[in-house]
Amino acid sequence: MSDLGVTKDDNIEKDVTKPSRRTLLDFVRQQPLGSLGIVLIIIMMLGAIFAQHVAPFNPEDVDFEASPAFGGGAPSLAHPLGADAFGRDILSRLIYGARTALSIGFLSAFFGCSIGAIIGTSSAFFGGKVDLLVQRFIDLMLSFPIIVLAIIVIAVFPKSVVLGVDVNVIVAIAIPFIPKTARVIRSQALAVVTLPYVDAARTNGFSSMRIIFRHILPNVTAPFLILITAFIGQAILLEASLSYLGLGVVEPTPSWGLMLSGVNTDYYRTAPWMIIFPGLAVSIAVFSFNLFGDSLRDWLDPKLKL
């Protein structure tokens, strides 16, 4: 904290005690783990974007000689992470798979959480009957197993692909996140709603929209960021489950989830690399998003600024 023991006579126009704007270097210094998370995320993103240039093989190239079914496929110089049952290069599939994983994981977690957060804060702000109705509807949504909910969505909406991303899968994964986020955010927002600054905003005659978006939502960012980063990991796994059921990404499109499921798991004794590396990829992605989310929360909280 800065020293504010100034008297009225001091005619200071400039704020000398205010710490200067924080730089990227400060972030690295104060949040070393978060920085590691960012670096990993950036590496994954770059890999996904420049997959054609980075990947040593085409992910859909089949080379049966390298297949474990014929005794090959172990990690080697040619295939650093080995090859799968069809003899496809796992490293290349992981790199291309990052596209699917990141786009679906990030987009669905972001949309799901954002809509959930808005519903949660609105429900807390309006209270009374609105709150009751919204919460019962959320109970209803929560009573469906995620996968069933996702199947319903995919069955109802026609398939549509925008920019190579399957919108249906994103919606299907995002919808189960909405009630979960809404619940958590509502509980936090309930505490914020009773705070005097919300009352002050009301007595200033601000619209409900303004109060929700400007005064309540920014004060529930901590659970929001935690949820988003946790759900990115879940989304990647959920995408795998949907793909396994044939509702998500379809072979031969590379996807981390698909690599972890289906026929590949039959090989785990003889060719463990087939599941170790995709599993590792999912773990690292989830891990780095969580690290990043944690430190982003601390960084964005003005109270924790030093």
Report if residue 305 touches another protein, rule: CB under 8 A.
yes
Query: Rounded to whole angstroms, how far apart are CA atoms 44 and 58?
Result: 18
Q: How far is the CB of 120 from another protein (least distance, A)?
A: 17
Report if residue 23 touches another protein, rule: CB under 8 A.
no
In a 3-state reduction of DSSP, which class is residue 258?
helix
Q: How far is the CB of 127 from another protein (least distance, A)?
A: 12
Query: Rounded to whole angstroms, how far apart are CA atoms 73 and 85?
Result: 8
Residue list 67-126, contact with another protein (CB under 8 A): none
Report if residue 14 touches another protein, rule: CB under 8 A.
yes
Nearer to another protein, 136 or 214 (CB): 214
Out of 199, 263, 265, 270, the only residue in the binding site for another protein (CB under 8 A) is 199
Q: Which amino acid is at 24?
A: L
Q: Which two tokens stand for residue 166?
A: 């399957």
Q: What is the DSSP string of 155-176?
A: HHSPP-EETTEEHHHHHHHHHH
Query: Rounded to whole angstroms, how far apart are CA atoms 34 and 195?
Result: 31
Q: What is the DSSP letter of 31?
A: -
Residue list 275-294, contact with another protein (CB under 8 A): none
Out of 20, 159, 204, 269, the only residue in the binding site for another protein (CB under 8 A) is 204
Report if residue 203 touches another protein, rule: CB under 8 A.
yes
Out of 70, 157, 197, 268, the only residue in the binding site for another protein (CB under 8 A) is 197
Query: Rounded to whole angstroms, how far apart are CA atoms 218 and 61?
Result: 48
Site size toward another protein (CB under 8 A) is 35
User: Which residues 6+ apart lie within 8 Å of 252 measured at CB?
Assistant: 59, 60, 88
Q: Which stretch binds another protein (CB under 8 A): 52-60, 97-105, 115-123, 189-197?
A: 189-197
Nearer to another protein, 36 or 201 (CB): 201
Residue with tokens 């009630």: 179
Q: How far is the CB of 230 from another protein (least distance, A)?
A: 22
In a 3-state reduction of DSSP, which class is residue 46?
helix
Alpha carbon of 44 to those of 48, 159, 234: distances in Å?
6, 27, 17
Out of 215, 235, 257, 260, the only residue in the binding site for another protein (CB under 8 A) is 215
Out of 12, 25, 162, 163, the only residue in the binding site for another protein (CB under 8 A) is 12
Name the site residues for another protein (rule: CB under 8 A). Answer: 1-8, 12-15, 18, 195-197, 199-207, 210, 214-215, 218-219, 221, 302-303, 305-306
